[in-house]
Amino acid sequence: MSRKLKLGVLISGRGSNLQSLIDATQDDSFPAEIVMVISNVPDVAGLDRSAKANIPTTVINHQDFDDREPFEDVLHDALSEAGVKLVCLAGFMRILTDGFVSRWLDKMINIHPSLLPSFKGLHTHERAIEAGVRFSGCTIHFVRPEMDDGPIIAQATVPIRQDDTPDALAARVLVEEHKIYPLAVRMIAEGRISITGSQVTIKGAVNPDSAVINPA
Ligand code: GRF
């Protein structure tokens, strides 16, 4: 039996972060495997990606349920039955209830396209440009009941350019998202991560020692 960490990936759309995890897990030495992909939206591009990779894939359409709880019960059962030990939210566009979050406490991570805790919520790139900050980026964090909140595992920064547009910035941030998601999963699967309050400690983490200044 495989000793790899079993991942369940939840998506709602394009699935490019799912693809970065599929690509990472295709390397035999990667310590995690995707055992289930679930979309809450039918016919999205991400579903083709997992089907192509022969990963068990299912749609649990939230519109088929009257309330959040019954939807989440089905989601929970599908993940549990597949043996999922870590849930990876990858562009999953449903707010999860406190009940679901506590069932997967410290076992569910999310990717967000900003340097949290700045710019929680939607339209992050537009808002970062509008605010005039010199850097944006992306964050992988453990999920807590408050949206886009929780202990931070990894971040990547991207300088904002003088003439930036939300689309151009989004594209450059996305490149980094695809690097840090597999990195975070690897570190968790290797058992190197511990959480104390809002802080994550990573065994053997190497931190860069130089600052990045923008404008250079
Ligand atoms: C990404 O930008 C992610 O950070 C955000 O939603 C987007 C999903 O993109 N949570 P994709 O579906 O992974 O391509």
Q: Per residue in 71-100, pLDDT tens?
A: 999 999 999 999 999 999 999 999 999 999
Give me the mean pLDDT over the 128-135 stretch. 98
**Six-digit token string for 89:** 């939210």
Letter for the amino acid at 48? Answer: D
Condensed to tens digits (0 to 9), the pLDDT of residues 95-125 reads 999 999 999 999 999 999 999 999 999 999 9
Fold of 113-141+150-204: Rossmann fold (3.40.50)
Condensed to tens digits (0 to 9), the pLDDT of residues 151-164 reads 999 999 999 999 99
| Predicted pLDDT at 183 | 98
> How many angstroms separate the alpha carbon of residue 90 from the centre of ligand 1?
6
Domain positions in the chain are: 1-104, 113-141+150-204
Give me the mean pLDDT over the 19-38 stretch. 98
pLDDT over 90 percentage in the chain: 99
Instruction: Report residue 5's pLDDT band, with 50, 70 and 90 as the boundaries.
Output: very high
Taking CA atoms, 118 is separated from 74, 127, 169, 183, in Å, by: 33, 10, 16, 22
Between CA 154 and CA 141 the distance in angstroms is 7
| Predicted pLDDT at 173 | 98
Same topology, domains 1-104 and 113-141+150-204? Answer is yes
The residue annotated as part of the active site, out of 62, 76, 112, 141, is 112
Between CA 195 and CA 141 the distance in angstroms is 11
Condensed to tens digits (0 to 9), the pLDDT of residues 166-187 reads 999 999 999 999 999 999 999 9
- Please tell me the residue having the least CA distance from ligand 1 atom 14: 16
- Please tell me the residue having the least CA distance from ligand 1 atom 10: 91
- Please tell me the residue having the least CA distance from ligand 1 atom 6: 91
Residues ≥6 apart with Cβ < 8 Å to 109: 86, 87, 88, 89, 140, 141, 142, 143, 153, 184, 185, 188
> How many angstroms separate the alpha carbon of residue 150 from the centre of ligand 1?
18
- Please tell me the residue having the least CA distance from ligand 1 atom 8: 91
Judged on CB neighbours under 10 Å (0-12, 13-18, 19+), 169 is buried
Residue keyed to tokens 């506590």 = 102
- pLDDT surpassing 80 at residue 1: no
112 is catalytic: yes
Q: What angle do CA 13, 20, 121 make, to 5 degrees?
A: 50
**Of 104, 54, 88, which is closest to residue 180 (Cα–Cα)?**
88
Taking CA atoms, 120 is separated from 53, 81, 112, 125, 128, in Å, by: 32, 32, 8, 11, 11
Helical H runs in the chain?
16-25, 45-52, 68-81, 98-103, 124-131, 166-189
Give me the mean pLDDT over the 144-150 stretch. 96
- DSSP code at position 3: -
Between CA 5 and CA 186 the distance in angstroms is 9
Taking CA atoms, 146 is separated from 13, 69, 76, 121, 149, in Å, by: 22, 17, 19, 11, 6
Counting from 1 in the atom list of ligand 1, the atom nearest the Cα of 19 is: 13
| Predicted pLDDT at 34 | 98
> How many angstroms separate the alpha carbon of residue 183 from the centre of ligand 1?
16
Cis, bond preceding 56 (omega within 30 deg of 0): no
| Residue ranges lining ligand 1, Cβ < 6 Å | 11, 13-17, 46, 90-91, 111-113, 138, 174, 177
Mutate to test the pocket of ligand 1, among 11, 16, 126, 152 (most ligand atoms within 8 A of CB): 16
pTM: 0.97
Condensed to tens digits (0 to 9), the pLDDT of residues 41-70 reads 999 999 999 999 999 999 999 999 999 999
Contact predicate 48/19, CB 8 Å: no
Instruction: Report residue 195's pLDDT band, with 50, 70 and 90 as the boundaries.
Output: very high
Q: Yes or no: is domain 1-104 CATH 3.40.50.170?
A: yes
- Please tell me the residue having the least CA distance from ligand 1 atom 7: 91
| Predicted pLDDT at 2 | 80
